[in-house]
Every structure is written in structure tokens, then in C-alpha cells.
Amino acid sequence: MASPAAQQITDRDLDDIFGPVFARIAAGAVDREVDRRLAHEEVGWLRNAGFGALRVPPEYGGFGVSVRQLFRLLIDLAAAESNLPQALRVHYSFVEDQLLGEPGPAREHWLRAVGSGALVGNAITEPGIGAVDRYRTRLTRGTEADWRLDGTKYYSTGSLYADYILVAADRDGERVSVLVDAYADGVRQQDDWDGFGQRLTASGTTEFDDVRVAPERVLGSGYGSGGRTHATAYLQLVQLAVLAGIAQRAESDTRAWIAERTRNYSHAVTDLPRHDPLVQQVIGRLSAAAFGARATVLAVADLLDEALDSGAGDAAALDAAELAAAQAQLVVGDAVLAATTELFEVGGASITAEGLRLDRHWRNARTVSVHNPAIQKARAIGDHLLNGADLPYAWSAGNRKQ
């Protein structure tokens, strides 16, 4: 069940703590985009404010917030810098696994570590490998006291910002999750992600060369293990929170640009763009897209709160959250992509100026929205509703209760 302390900290309290941090992060967003400067300093600000420990119970150094409160803040962080919630996506999933884990020293250790500021990145996907049962990353026996990890991963989102990396590996045909120190001997990380959006998520290549892994760092079944889990909906919802934040920032950036603009088209019905009813309609639609995306994300977060409050053991609650997250993906993605395209209708060629970088909103939204492509989710939803097919669960990791 949710910690009683989770009811003691309000949204206003959280806004007072994190609002100023988000404002500082937002102030440098365009410069970071232009320079392709990874947000190490900004992640440090979040770490110092305890942002990674939002779901950690107060007795372990965290805030004990609800899932809804977490995702509300993730949307606001995404409005400030859309790369950062995505970079922290697996971190929050790891924390949730610990919260659901068997009580004991291991669970307490990791909750205290996160409560003290530790962050977790990921190394799941491998270049050229589409199926989790064909991982080339191997965990093999080293000495009697440890294991050895070897392999190459891509899309290692957030790992360059992290203290630990959650790695999916094969151990004698078994999928396992391994937690390694981000700066351990034999770990090499590169910022070589070459997508046109979400460039600062630190989603590049990570190589593991004979990395020592202590037995207690082998956490159990890894990515792609079968069965119901909260984590696919949870991980998908982080991406949708990113989209909701992008819509929020796109609307505010566009509105600010129009407010200062004094030149309109020669055939427009008003002299000032902000008085033009057509421009006003665009801002209205951008605002509606941001509102709808936020409301949808929070509605799914409420379902995840219900599922997690029951210990993630209620099949009906898990199915409800999984279905809602899949449906939300179709709604939010379409709305935000349309909004980040339409914003350019409010101005002439000057709105495409590199200094504004308003194109980053569409590029970032397009990049986020292709994670777990919507065409596959639409088919899975239809098959489930028509034929009772299994929902598209895909993730399980960590020290979970059986």
C-alpha cells in the first residue's frame, strides 16, 4: 500500500521544491540543443533536489509520492527539457521494482542508495538484435565469487548520467538483469546516438569487456520475461509524459513568440498576429492538445496507482493499466505530433529561425512516439478487444515477489 507519508506532501509542496529547478533547466534548453551539450549539470540539480527519489519512502530518504504525483512532475520536467524524463525512465522502473521486492537487506540497500541520490540507467537493446532471446551480451562464471559480463548495447538511455546501469544479458540461455557500476573497469560509454530528436538522452553505445559482477548484482529475470507486469505500462507512460511536456512547451514557446511579433501577413484580417482569429485558433488547439495529453497521462497514472497499491498482483488492475497505456499512446501521439506541426502556421519563414529551434518540439515528439510503434499497439488493442488476445506486456526485471 502507499506510504502514509505520500498523503502528507501536496502537489503545491512539490511545485515549490521542483518548480525553480525546472525553470533553471528550461532556461538553457535551446542552447543545449544547439551545442548538443549533455545535461550533466542539470541532472546534478535534479539529483540534489531528490528528484530521483520521488517514489522512495521517506524512511529511506525519499518523498513517498504517488504515481500520479510522479507523472505530473515528469510532464513538467519534460516541458523544461524533454530529454531528461526519458533519460530517467528505467531509473523509475528500477525503483518501482525495489518497492515491489521482497523485504530484506537488498531492497533496503537500493532504496537507501536512490534516497541518497543514486541514479540508474539502462543497457537493454543490442545493435541488430530485435528479439530478447538472441542477446549476444553474456554473463559467464568468473571466479567462484563473481560473474563476468561481456557485450555491446545500444540505446543505453540515461546511462551517461547514471551511477549504475541495468543490463539485460544471457546466462546459459536464461535472461537476467545485471546491475553494474557505470564507471567500473571494462565499461565504455559513448554519446553516439544519431537520431534527429531527443539528442540529449545519452542514448548511445555501451560496451562491457570482462566487467566483474558480484553475485548480489544479478537481479533475476530480465527484459522480455513473460507474464503480467506493471512495467510495460509504466515505461510507456514515461514516454507519453514526455510527449505531454513537449506539447506544453510548444504551446508556451509559440504563444510567447506571437505575443512579441508585430508583423502579420499582408492579407491577414488584423495588423497584429495576436489579434488574428486564425492565429488564436492555432493557439487554442495547441493548448487543447497539451491539456488533453496531460489529462490522459494522469488518468493512466491513476490506474497504475491502483495496480501498484495492490502489490502489482491484481491481474484485472494490471490489464486495465496496460490497456489504458496502449490506448493513450494512440491518442497522445497523434495529438502532440499534429500540434507540433501546426504551430508553424502562426508565422512566416521567420518562425523557422534556427535561434528559436521550434522544430525541436516536432523532432523530439516524433522520436519519442516511435518507441513501441503505434501501429503495433493499435493492432494489439484491436486483437485483444475482438479476440481476447494477450495484451502487449514486455518487461519484467528486478527483485520481484513471486
Residue 2 lies in a domain: no
Same domain, 143 and 166: yes
Same domain, 208 and 143: yes
pLDDT at 224: 58
Same domain, 104 and 183: no
Would you place residue 108 in the very low, low, confident or very high pLDDT band (cuts 50, 70, 90)?
very high
Residue 394 lies in a domain: no
Report the distance separating Cα 377 and Cα 288, nearest Å.
Answer: 24
Residue 303 lies in a domain: yes
Same domain, 134 and 261: no
Domain end residue (candidates: 56, 88, 118): 118
CATH code at 217? 2.40.110.10
Q: pLDDT by residue (tens digit) across 361-399?
A: 999 999 999 988 899 999 999 999 999 999 988 744 343
pTM of the model as a whole = 0.94
Residue 169 lies in a domain: yes
Report the distance separating Cα 106 and Cα 220, nearest Å.
Answer: 13
Contact 391, 326 (CB under 8 A): yes
Residue 204's contacts (CB-CB under 8 Å, 6 or more residues apart) are 154, 156, 160, 189, 190, 191, 192, 193
Number of domains in the chain: 3
Q: pLDDT by residue (tens digit) across 329-338?
A: 999 999 999 9
Residues of the chain above pLDDT 90, percent? 82
CATH code at 100? 1.10.540.10
Same domain, 48 and 170: no
Domain that holds residue 236: 230-387
Domain end residue (candidates: 91, 118, 145): 118
Domain end residue (candidates: 96, 118, 140): 118
Same domain, 131 and 105: no
| pLDDT, mean of residues 310-339 | 96
Residue 402 lies in a domain: no
Report the distance separating Cα 90 and Cα 86, nearest Å.
Answer: 8
Residue 260 lies in a domain: yes
